[in-house]
Structure formats: structure tokens, C-alpha cells
């Protein structure tokens, strides 16, 4: 008996009746020979970690654009914190940690440079083709751009991690909540670090309910989810904890996300993304004869995959005068034109 088969049998004995078992996976789009050592969701996790899109997360914005302070979160560290919280929840609830981890590590692979500011600009530019949403782009990355051939459960979790969508697995529900818990807590910490807010600025009733210490606030949220979800067919918080979590979230939108020095550079971001988009659409048009919608989709894929620093570097190369330019790296954009399923969103 393979090591994998023994592990699959152990899952059937140990995991909750509501957990997604590896042996019961709905499979991949392209069938593969099973690994003798790793279960299917373990293979998915490994493929995501080894992907180029995952490596680029380390230089993509979480909240603060191109921070010089190395202690601020990036999209990579955000992803790792989501994974850690999600695994803690899954283990406590008897769910499948491998599936949970794979979804968590892959959930933001399609995020743009410059965080949600970059996402909003691409959404406007792609309006005629259905807009742009990072969760859908994350699915495009694993399915079409990097062709990771992941299991259907992982792909579903990646697509539905955004709030308001319904995952088909409890592990997907765990990642939804873990994402919200992670970004709220670490964004508060980063905002305090940057002196945009202080601990005293947090709503008094939220401080009383959670305390001001991040580890205690985080622990209370995680424990509340466990207490309200164990041995149940859904994953959720209590109404009280959910109320205070959302009150903190509204506070962060008012004081940090939409009205702070963290967004002072947002107009510049819009200009960078728009000019890159227009340039590359024109660049492709001059080199090959292709439909406008295919060109726009390829350009969107290309820009969405950029890191903050690469986008700024390309902007400088293209629009700031200097003695010479190197455009060899732009050859990648033509590869995106030929991707099968280019219209999939």
C-alpha cells in the first residue's frame, strides 16, 4: 500500500464527517496518475508554492504602496497569515488542513500590483469585457496562465474566497473567514506602525470586547469561530463577534483604507496602470493582427501579474526619457495571447 493510500485511510478515520476527504475529491480537469506519497490536495499546495505567481506576491501591495519599512505586510505575508489562521481553524474543526492550506495559499495569486487600487483601475479598463475581480483572476492564473491543473475543490475555494460567494466545501468557508480575520488584524497593526491611527482611536466598545492587543483580539475571533462551528455543517462566527468585527472593519475603511496617507499616492497608481494598459494594447496592435478583446485580456493578465516595483520600473522605462530601453521582457505578453481559454473569466 502506498503512503498516500494510508494517509487517505487515516483521513477517513480522523476527520470530521463534514470534512472534505482527499479520496472523495471531484478530481482535476485533466486526469493524472496519483502520487505514491502525497494526497491530491497536498500536490495542489505544492504546485501553488512553486508557481511564479506565488513568488511575485512578496512584492505586491497589501495596503501600503511599495513600503520601505520591511515590517509592513505584503500580499505574500498576508497570504501566509491567512494560511496560518485557516489551518488553525481547520485543525480545531476536524477539517482537511491540506485543502484549506492550498486554497489559502492560492487565494490571492491574481491580485494586481498596488493592491485594491490597482484592481479598481483594471476593473474600469475591462468594464466592456465583464470587469476585473482578483478572485476570478486568481482562478485564471492557476487554470490558464500557469496551468497547474488543480483539483476542483481548490479551484472553487480560490474563486469563492471573496465575501458574498458560497464555497462548496467547509474548508473554503474557513478560508473566507480567515482572510477577513487576517487582513483586519494585520492592517490595524500596520496602520498603528505607520502612525495613521493609534490603539486609542479604535472604537471603545470594540476595545472592550476584543481588547487592544492584537494577539488577544485575533485569538478571540478564532476561538469564537471554533465554538460556533465545531461539529456543524457551516463555518461562522457568533452574531456578537461578527458585529464587532464589522464595526472594526468599518472603522478601518473610514480611517485607513479610504481616508489616509496610505492612499495619497492612489491617483499616481491609476495613472501608472492606465498608461501601461494603453501602451501595451497599442504595442500588440502594431505587432500582430488580433481581436481587440483578446488583446485587452492579454494586457490585463500581464499587468495583473506585475509586482509593484516591476510596474513602476516598466513605467519609467516606457515614459521617462533615458539613453536606451530594454523591451525584451515584454515578449511574455505575446505568450499570453496564445493561452487556451483566453475568454474564461
Residue 342 lies in a domain: no
**Per-residue pLDDT, 322:** 73
Shared domain for 206 and 153, answered yes or no, is yes
Check pLDDT > 70 for residue 76: yes
- Last residue of one domain, picked from the residues 263, 287, 310: 263
* pLDDT bucket at 345, cuts 50 / 70 / 90: very low
**Per-residue pLDDT, 212:** 79
pLDDT one-digit tens code per residue, 164-193 = 999 999 999 999 999 999 999 999 999 998
Higher pLDDT, 211 or 129: 129
Check pLDDT > 90 for residue 48: yes
- For every residue of the chain, which 3-state class applies, written as one string? CCHHHHHHHHHHHHCCCCCCCHHHCCCECCCCCCCCCCCHHHHHHHHHHCCHHHHHHHHCECCCCCCCCCCCCEHHHHHHHHHHHHHHHHHHHCCCHHHHHHHHHHCCCCCCCCHHHHHHHHHHHCHHHCCCCHHHHHHHHHHHHCCCCCEHHHHHHHHCCCCCCCCCCHHHHHHHHHHHHHHHHHHHHHHHHCCCCCHHHCCHHHHHHHCCCHHHHHHHHHHHHHHHHCCCCCCCCCHHHHHHHHHHHHHHHHHHHCCCHHHCCHHHHHHHHHHHHHHHHHHHHHHCCCCHHHHHHHHHHHHHCCCHHHHHHHHHHHHCCCCCCCCHHHHHHHHHHCCCCCCCC
Check pLDDT > 60 for residue 275: yes
Mean pLDDT lowest among 220-234, 246-260, 299-313: 246-260
- Last residue of one domain, picked from the residues 242, 263, 284: 263
Shared domain for 281 and 241, answered yes or no, is no
- Last residue of one domain, picked from the residues 263, 285, 304: 263
Shared domain for 163 and 298, answered yes or no, is no
Report, as an integer, the average pLDDT of 41-60. 97
Check pLDDT > 70 for residue 298: yes
Residue 343 lies in a domain: no
Shared domain for 91 and 213, answered yes or no, is yes
Shared domain for 279 and 222, answered yes or no, is no
**Per-residue pLDDT, 87:** 98
* pLDDT bucket at 261, cuts 50 / 70 / 90: low
pLDDT one-digit tens code per residue, 187-216 = 999 999 888 999 999 999 999 999 878 889
Higher pLDDT, 329 or 63: 63
Higher pLDDT, 291 or 65: 291
**Per-residue pLDDT, 72:** 82
**Per-residue pLDDT, 327:** 53
Shared domain for 26 and 44, answered yes or no, is yes
Report, as an integer, the average pLDDT of 61-70. 71
Report, as an integer, the average pLDDT of 23-30. 98
Shared domain for 119 and 227, answered yes or no, is yes
Check pLDDT > 60 for residue 114: yes
Report, as an integer, the average pLDDT of 311-334. 79
Q: What percent of the chain has pLDDT over 90?
A: 81
* pLDDT bucket at 344, cuts 50 / 70 / 90: very low
Total domains present in the chain: 2
What residues make up the domain containing 46?
A: 3-263
Amino acid at each position: 500500500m502506498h503512503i498516500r493510500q494510508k494517509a487517505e485511510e487515516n483521513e477517513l478515520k480522523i476527520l470530521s464527517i463534514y470534512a472534505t476527504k482527499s479520496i472523495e475529491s471531484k478530481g482535476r480537469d485533466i486526469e493524472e496518475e496519483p502520487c505514491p506519497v502525497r494526497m491530491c490536495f497536498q500536490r495542489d499546495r505544492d504546485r501553488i508554492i512553486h508557481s511564479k505567481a506565488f513568488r511575485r506576491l512578496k512584492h505586491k501591495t497589501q495596503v501600503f504602496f511599495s513600503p520601505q519599512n520591511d515590517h509592513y505586510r505584503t500580499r505574500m505575508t498576508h497570504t501566509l497569515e491567512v494560511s496560518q489562521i485557516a489551518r488553525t481553524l481547520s485543525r480545531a474543526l476536524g477539517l482537511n488542513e491540506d485543502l484549506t492550506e492550498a486554497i489559502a495559499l492560492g487565494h490571492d495569486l491574481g491580485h494586481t500590483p498596488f493592491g485594491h487600487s490597482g484592481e479598481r483601475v483594471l476593473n474600469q479598463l475591462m468594464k466592456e469585457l465583464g470587469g476585473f475581480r482578483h478572485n476570478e483572476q486568481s482562478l485564471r492564473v492557476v487554470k490558464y496562465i500557469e496551468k497547474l491543473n488543480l483539483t476542483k475543490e481548490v479551484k472553487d475555494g480560490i474563486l469563492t474566497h471573496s465575501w458574498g460567494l458560497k464555497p462548496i466545501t467547509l474548508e473554503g468557508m474557513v478560508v473566507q473567514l480567515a482572510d477577513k480575520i487576517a487582513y483586519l488584524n494585520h492592517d490595524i497593526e500596520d496602520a498603528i506602525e505607520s502612525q495613521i491611527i493609534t490603539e486609542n482611536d479604535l472604537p471603545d466598545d470594540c476595545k472592550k470586547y476584543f481588547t487592544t492587543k492584537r494577539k488577544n483580539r485575533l485569538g478571540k475571533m478564532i476561538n469564537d469561530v471554533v465554538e460556533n462551528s465545531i461539529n456543524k455543517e457551516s463555518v461562522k462566527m457568533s452574531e456578537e463577534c461578527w458585529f464587532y468585527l464589522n464595526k472594526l472593519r468599518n472603522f478601518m475603511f473610514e480611517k485607513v483604507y479610504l481616508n489616509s496617507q496610505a492612499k495619497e499616492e492612489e491617483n499616481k497608481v491609476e495613472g501608472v496602470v492606465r498608461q501601461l494598459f494603453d501602451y501595451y494594447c497599442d504595442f500588440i496592435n502594431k505587432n500582430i493582427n488580433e481581436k481587440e478583446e483578446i488583446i485587452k485580456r492579454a494586457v490585463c493578465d500581464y499587468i495583473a501579474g506585475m509586482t509593484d516595483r516591476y510596474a513602476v520600473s516598466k513605467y519609467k522605462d516606457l515614459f521617462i526619457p533615458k539613453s536606451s530601453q530594454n523591451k525584451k521582457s515584454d515578449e511574455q505578453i505575446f505568450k499570453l495571447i496564445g493561452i487556451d481559454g483566453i475568454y474564461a473569466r
